[in-house]
Amino acid sequence: MSIGEPLPRPDGRDKVTGRARYAADQEVAGLLHAALVGAPTPSGTVTAIDGREALATAGVARVLAAADMPRFGPVAPPSAVSKLPMQDGTIRHEGQPVAIVLAETLEAAECGAGLVRLTIEPAPFRPQGGGEVAVPPGIYGPVTFTKGDPDAAFLAAEHQHIAEYRQPSRHHNPIEPSATIAVWEGENLTLYDSVQHGYSVQAIVAAALNIRPERVRVISPHTGGGFGAKGFVWPHEILTAAAARVAGRPVKLVLSRAQMYANVGFQPNMVHRMALGAGRNGRLTAIKHEVEHVTALSDDFVEMATAASRGTYASPAIFTAQKVERANVNMPTAMRAPWEGPGLWGLESAIDELAHAVGQDPLDFRLANYAETDPATGKPWSSKKLREAYEEGARLFGWRERAGRPKRDGPWTLGFGMATCSMGAFRFPSQAQVRIKADGSVTVETGCHDIGTGTLTIFPQIAADVLGLPPDEVELIMGDTRLPQGGPTYGSSSTMGVGASVLRAAENARELLGRLANLPAGEVVMKDGRIGRRGGLGAGVPIGDALRTAGVGEVVGKGRFTLPGDAPFNADGEGTPHTIRTFGAVFIEVGVDCELGLLRLRRAVGSYSAGRVINPRTARAQMTGGIIWGWGMAAMEASPYEKKLGRWLSKNLAGVAIPVNADIPSDIQIHFVDEFDPHASPLGAKGIGELGATGVAAAVASAVFDATGKRIRELPITPGKLV
């Protein structure tokens, strides 16, 4: 059995030695380097562009303005924005591309971009926090939800808690900046791109350039992190393709770190307005959760952060609502653990405060309000072992014994906190194929991507498990839109969807081999390069012999993962008899230096109910990374916004703190409850890539309260809030 083994990543050596080739590493002859010229103001109209000084720079070939670009066709999601730049002079946000400099070298392109002179007719702008909020149209689901009579239930509650919880805007900051190389060959376009879903890029670029999608090929074998920043299709990808067409040469564009801040989205700042009611026994009687955040002028992004408040705890009355404020900002987008990631900051912080008000242990309060069925729909869970996750996490952490632990360690005052973790299940259709050749080689082919999440490890593992081979004998080819259409690499969806299609493709290949060997359907087994009948593998034949005897060079098994009604997307099992979610609990110990306002993570335990674990090693790495991500959200990360000028203040890794190894202790324990969910996927697996990032910020704030008695309701928890 390969599934369940803690195998190391086969791509690790290639990445640390530099053999892995990312988008910007691709070698294309005769290319021009591109540099964007961004709008210096958040609003206005570009009335003139003077590129003469730039064109006088050695190596600069072209300065492209809106008048030089083709008229783009209409685009819709998964395009991040509907109004593409460089089609007119309108400026909608600071940093918006208004010109492109093409040059023989990157240095010349960047120098030329700095010499382009813009004439701008100023116009008033709407800064973040300066406009009215409104209920947006529902994009991913209803933006308001009501169950029971929440107002009456809250007013009648024995215990009431009302509070606002705030969090700042944050940027994804993947280690690899977004990069695109566009190569035209006649009417055919090849894009080497840093993406999380190549087929979205294929469709949107084709629509914008008014060509058929099959004329666009997207290649992305390695993506250096994304966290959502590379999930949608952004204007720079379309602009690069258009610039290459105009110039008649390949064009390479790599966004600078500063340009990433204004051109590939961000998580918007949010205000969570929480109102919880509970009876004398600690049972919840009302949950009310309203969220406000900013979106762009031209498009709606709705961070459905209230989703967790509808699906985590049993309550007879629930109300949730989403509101957005339009401003001259670049388009927000999903960020690792969207919806529940920010939503559980508000919900779990309020739950902790209410538990203390009721006089119950925070864990006992959560157990008392355990949801045996989906509180919003009444449907049964596809699988849920959160109770076991609570218990094992508490045991590993020593939660019940914390009262006897020392509260001081030198200058540090110690505090303990916990929170529930939860994520919905995003599922997408997917395809894969498995080739078995007469020489015994096996290849898995699917068009999805590995953004560092471990798919390069687990897909061969899945195929090897079916075919009775060591995983290192299975080759995986991925990241190309000429391959079978794999699902996207976001929403913690790859294992459920693409993994299931790999499973079925391997099973199909095995059955095809069985037919060639005249074996009964359903009785075919394979092991160590041989194929035979179940219970009689010893009399089986080598795979190569079976193929050669049949006069066949290879068999190609095909696998598909589909959704009810052939839907292109399914959230949480919508339209099925079960609600699909993942769950967990995180326990945190912090140290606080109350004189200096310093906050340190000392240890953490994460315990999860997340379906079948295909590879414990990569799964543990994902959850550990999620806790680190949550620590950054809790204690460090914020993207400062200069309201007066309508722009991001810090656009680099020097001015925005993110966790590094020195910030993280070695004592992080991860536990998975044994679970198999046949409703989520034929593999029994669910997604785990984002679950670990949820709940952490609230658990940290709870631990800070335990240490200091201070309730922190605004992230990040910086020194000024602790002294």
Write a three-state SS string for 457-497: HHHHHHHHHHHCCCHHHEEEEECECCCCCCCCCCCCCHHHH
Instruction: Check whether residue 469 and residue 418 sit in a common domain.
Output: no
Instruction: Check whether residue 520 and residue 583 sit in a common domain.
Output: no
Give me 443's structure tokens. Answer: 């290849």
- Please say which residue of 565, 599, 624 terminates a domain: 565
Q: Quick one: pLDDT at residue 138?
A: 65
> What residue numbers bound the domain in which 283 lies?
270-425+572-721
Look at residues 24, 54, 311, 71 and name the one whose alpha carbon lies nearest to residue 174.
Answer: 24
Residue 135 lies in a domain: no
pTM, entire model: 0.96
pLDDT digits (tens, 9 = 90+) for 302-336: 999 999 999 999 999 999 999 999 999 999 999 99
Q: What is the DSSP letter of 666?
A: S
Residue 369 lies in a domain: yes
Pairing of strands 430-437, 554-561: antiparallel
Residue 12 lies in a domain: no
Pairing of strands 598-609, 581-593: antiparallel
- 443 or 544: which leads in pLDDT: 443
Q: Residue 651 is part of a domain; what is its CATH number?
A: 3.30.365.10
Residue 471 exposed, middle or buried by CB count within 10 Å (0-12, 13-18, 19+): buried
**First and final C-alpha spacing in the chain:** 55
- Please say which residue of 215, 246, 263 terminates a domain: 263
- Please say which residue of 565, 587, 622 terminates a domain: 565
Q: How far apart are CA 116 and CA 334, in angstroms?
A: 33
Q: Quick one: pLDDT at residue 298?
A: 86
Give me 268's structure tokens. Answer: 């918007």
Residues 444-454, mean pLDDT to the nearest whole number: 94
Residue 185 pairs with which residues in a beta bridge?
188
Q: How far apart are CA 512 and CA 531, in angstroms?
A: 11
Q: Quick one: pLDDT at residue 539?
A: 67
Q: Quick one: pLDDT at residue 413?
A: 98
pLDDT at 715 over 90: yes
Question: Among 91-95, 389-393, 546-550, 576-580, whose mean pLDDT is lowest?
Answer: 546-550
Q: Quick one: pLDDT at residue 655?
A: 85
What are the CA-CA distances from residue 124 to residues 49, 272, 326 (Å)? 21, 29, 14
The band of 378, judged by pLDDT with boundaries at 50, 70 and 90, is very high
Instruction: Check whether residue 250 and residue 285 sit in a common domain.
Output: no
Q: How far apart are CA 356 and CA 352, in angstroms?
A: 6
Pairing of strands 188-193, 216-219: parallel
The band of 142, judged by pLDDT with boundaries at 50, 70 and 90, is confident
Residue 214 lies in a domain: yes
DSSP 692-723: GGSSHHHHHHHHHHHHHSPPP-BSS--GGGT-
Residues 209-219, mean pLDDT to the nearest whole number: 98
Instruction: Check whether residue 190 and residue 214 sit in a common domain.
Output: yes
How many other C-beta atoms are found inside a 10 Å radius of the C-beta of residue 13? 11
Look at residues 297, 344, 306 and name the one whose alpha carbon lies nearest to residue 94.
Answer: 297
Residues identified as active-site: 690
pLDDT at 703 over 70: yes
Q: What is the DSSP letter of 178?
A: P
Q: Residue 216 is part of a domain; what is its CATH number?
A: 3.90.1170.50
How many other C-beta atoms are found inside a 10 Å radius of the C-beta of residue 409? 10
Q: Each residue of 132-143: b (16+ CB within 10 Å) or e? A: eeeebeeebeeb
Q: How far apart are CA 597 and CA 717, in angstroms?
A: 9
Residues 215-223, mean pLDDT to the nearest whole number: 96
pLDDT at 415 over 90: yes
Q: How far apart are CA 424 and CA 580, in angstroms?
A: 7
Residue 241 lies in a domain: yes
Residues 288-292, mean pLDDT to the nearest whole number: 98
Look at residues 694, 666, 670 and name the one whose alpha carbon lies nearest to residue 602.
Answer: 666
Instruction: Check whether residue 553 and residue 661 sit in a common domain.
Output: no
Q: Which amino acid is at 698?
A: A
Do the beta carbons of residue 695 and residue 348 sit within 8 Å?
Answer: yes
Where are the alpha helices (H) located in 312-427, listed in sequence order? 340-358, 362-368, 386-397
Q: Quick one: pLDDT at residue 130?
A: 72
Please report where in the chains the tokens 């919905």 appear, as a residue.
424
Q: How far apart are CA 375 and CA 318, in angstroms?
A: 9
Look at residues 572, 506, 608 and name the one whose alpha carbon lies nearest to residue 3.
Answer: 506
Instruction: Check whether residue 412 and residue 511 sit in a common domain.
Output: no
pLDDT at 174 over 70: yes
Do the beta carbons of residue 202 and residue 674 sit within 8 Å?
Answer: no
- Total domains present in the chain: 3
Instruction: Check whether residue 368 and residue 310 sit in a common domain.
Output: yes
Cα–Cα–Cα angle for 292, 298, 301, rounded to 5 degrees: 40
pLDDT digits (tens, 9 = 90+) for 658-672: 999 999 999 999 999
Give me 304's structure tokens. Answer: 């459905």
Give me 338's structure tokens. Answer: 């969207």
pLDDT digits (tens, 9 = 90+) for 124-140: 999 988 777 877 776 66
Instruction: Check whether residue 97 and residue 190 sit in a common domain.
Output: yes
Q: Quick one: pLDDT at residue 139?
A: 65
Instruction: Check whether residue 306 and residue 250 sit in a common domain.
Output: no
Q: Quick one: pLDDT at residue 134?
A: 76
Residue 709 lies in a domain: yes
Instruction: Check whether residue 252 and residue 283 sit in a common domain.
Output: no
Q: What percent of the chain has pLDDT over 70?
A: 99
Q: Quick one: pLDDT at residue 410?
A: 96
Residue 168 lies in a domain: no
Residue 495 lies in a domain: yes
Q: How far apart are CA 62 and CA 288, in angstroms?
A: 56
Instruction: Check whether residue 650 and residue 665 sit in a common domain.
Output: yes
Instruction: Check whether residue 342 and residue 483 sit in a common domain.
Output: no
Residue 300 exposed, middle or buried by CB count within 10 Å (0-12, 13-18, 19+): middle
Question: Strand, coil or helix: what is 347?
Answer: helix
